[in-house]
Amino acid sequence: MKIVVLDGYTLNPGDLSWDALKEIGELTVYNRTAPDEVPERAGGAEILFTNKVVLNAETIRSLPELKYIGVLATGYNVVDIDAAREAGIVVTNIPAYSTASVAQMAFSHILNIVQRVDVYADEIRKGKWSGQTDFCYWNAPLHELEGKTIGIVGFGNTGRATARIAVAFGMEVYAYTRKSADQLPCGVHKCPSLDEVFRKCDIVSLHCPLSEETKELVNAERLKMMKPTAMLVNTGRGGLVNEQDLAEALADGTIAAAGLDVLSSEPPRPDNPLLKLKNCFITPHIAWATYEARVRLMGLAAANLSAFLEGNPINNVAE
């Protein structure tokens, strides 16, 4: 059985093992695959794994031996599901593998902004503390999270995990979700509208999927609803935010700060207006990438394939 991984580097840059897949069949792993390399590399494969390499209808139809596509991520928009279904190909994804990691990153951004950790660490390297008269030094307000309000947009696995951390910090937590109020955990209140989340909350954290309905849900109109002291956190999808509108809101003080792990184009264009703003803190789409989450992802990818080969597919998104 020929198994091909088209873009394995981000999952496994060398600190994990592909042995679980090697035990199943003849495995070839490519670190990266350009679009024009897909037909040749995927040719003859019965099992194909992809993370971000696009498998469109034309490509799928050109691979008659293909029986299974494993997406090495939760989102599976890189695969033309309709074409796969028509060809009788099972497509699986990896849900919930990075829940704890993404929630942790959301609060890493929040804590960095309210405590200015990266700013002070950099200033101390430059000798700012050493030259002070007093035992301590700060040049901007520091804030507690206790008693602040946070709005969680999307209450799936990561939204729920983020809310749990917020409750532990003593925050007032509001969720914008289709779930009913009695389905929400203790300490989490249902917010009746998305606009209300932006008006009410000191922090808005995005955890919803990207769809036509949610595309650029953060725009100039909603940013103007926010408090001037508020912050936006996005560990979901870059397309949830109109980046030009956010850049203008940050530059003119409409909101105080933003912490982002995702952008609409990755890697970003050098002229992205958010990149050089001092009150915009960006990490390079690494919320999912803790060692523990990647180990979990690798194990689930092998489990998905094993279940398929046993005739009982799990996490099949092409049903």
| Enzyme catalytic residues | 237, 266, 285
User: Of 207, 217, 200, whose CA–CA distance to 179 is shortest?
Assistant: 207
Q: Is 216 exposed, middle or buried (0-12, 13-18, 19+ CB in 10 A)?
A: middle
| Nearest C-alpha neighbor of 5 from the set 50, 41, 59, 39 | 50
- DSSP string across 145-177: -TT-EEEEE--SHHHHHHHHHHHHTT-EEEEES
Which has the closest alpha carbon to 108: 138, 139, 145, 151?
145
CA distance 25 to 18: 11
Asked if residues 11 and 298 have their Cβ atoms less than 8 Å apart, the reply is yes
Using the structure block, give the residue that is written with the tokens 């990561």.
158
